[in-house]
Amino acid sequence: MKDKLSIIALIAIVGVASGLVGYTFSTSENVSPATSFATSALMSGHVELEVRDSEGNIKAYRQTDNVITTTGENCALRALFSPASIGSNAGTSVCTGALTEAFSFIELGTGSGTEQSTDIALFTPITSGTLAIAPASTITWNNSTTNTGSTNAAQVILSKTFTSDGSYAVQEAGLFNGTTANTNGMFAHKLFTSVSIATNDQLTVQWTINIGNSTATGIGI
């Protein structure tokens, strides 16, 4: 089940994920939803990870609700309603980071702990090599549509496939608005059961954010 998340991510600042269902393989996991931080009936998010070996066989799969950060919420609100105010808030607790690009950069890490809404960085990020932070290679937008008796949410899909240059135990991922995670804002942070990655393995990370369904919830204006 997907937790409702307090996100007002729109246009080009949000990362997300889709698909990867119906697989049968040796290691899989459906992670229970993380603690909800300021839930909303209009927003929901999900992150999925898949590891394949050099032969293309699926080694591991993880899926879980993603946790949005306070920085992500604040920056998204300003980008949506007052883009000019983003720069004036950069570097503060209101809207952290340089904010010169979209929240479309995925970072992987090996740290452990519990993600919090106040996080601004991964616990132990992978900072070099082919698993270092990188922009999404695919972004897909699905517009909100209204069918008879129902409304489908607007959706954005962010995906990146990393090819490993070594052995890692990856167990966290984050979404940033630049390649320098220490000075750019973090939109989302998620930890999961460790996945073992060997040289030439491919790790695909996908994030999904849904926005809408106000008609169905009766909150429409």
| Confidence class for position 86, pLDDT limits 50, 70, 90 | confident
Q: Are 208 and 18 in contact (CB under 8 A)?
A: yes
- For residue 57, pLDDT over 60 is answered with yes
Report pLDDT for 37.
Answer: 35
What is the pLDDT averaged over residues 54-61?
95
Closest by CA position to 45, among listed 4, 97, 92, 94 = 4
Q: What is the mean pLDDT of residues 15-19?
A: 34
- Given a cut of 60, whether residue 8 has pLDDT beyond it is no
Of the candidates 214, 142, 210, 189, the one whose C-alpha atom is nearest the C-alpha of residue 5 is 210
Residue 125 DSSP SS3: strand
User: Is pLDDT larger for residue 135 or for residue 9?
Assistant: 135
pLDDT of residue 182: 62
Residue 6 has pLDDT above 70, yes or no: no
Determine the pLDDT at residue 42. Answer: 60
Each residue's pLDDT tens digit, 103-115? 899 999 999 999 9
Cα dihedral 146→45→63→157 (10° resolution) = 60
Name the β-bridge partners of 157.
Answer: 140, 208
- Which SS3 state, helix, strand or coil, does residue 174 take? strand
Give pLDDT, residue 213: 59
Contact 188, 174 (CB under 8 A): yes
Report long-range pairs for 148-153 (Cβ below 8 Å, ≥24 apart): 150/215, 150/216, 151/212, 151/213, 151/214, 151/215, 151/216, 152/212, 152/213, 153/44, 153/210, 153/211, 153/212, 153/213
Q: Give the DSSP H/E element, type plus range, for residue 80.
A: helix 70-81
pLDDT at 186: 86
| Residue/partner pairs of 145-150 with CB below 8 Å, 24 or more apart | 146/215, 150/215, 150/216
Least-confidence region, from 4-18, 54-68, 179-193, 196-210 = 4-18
151-201 pLDDT, tens digit each: 577 888 999 999 999 999 999 999 888 887 666 788 889 999 999 999 999
Average pLDDT over residues 14-36: 40
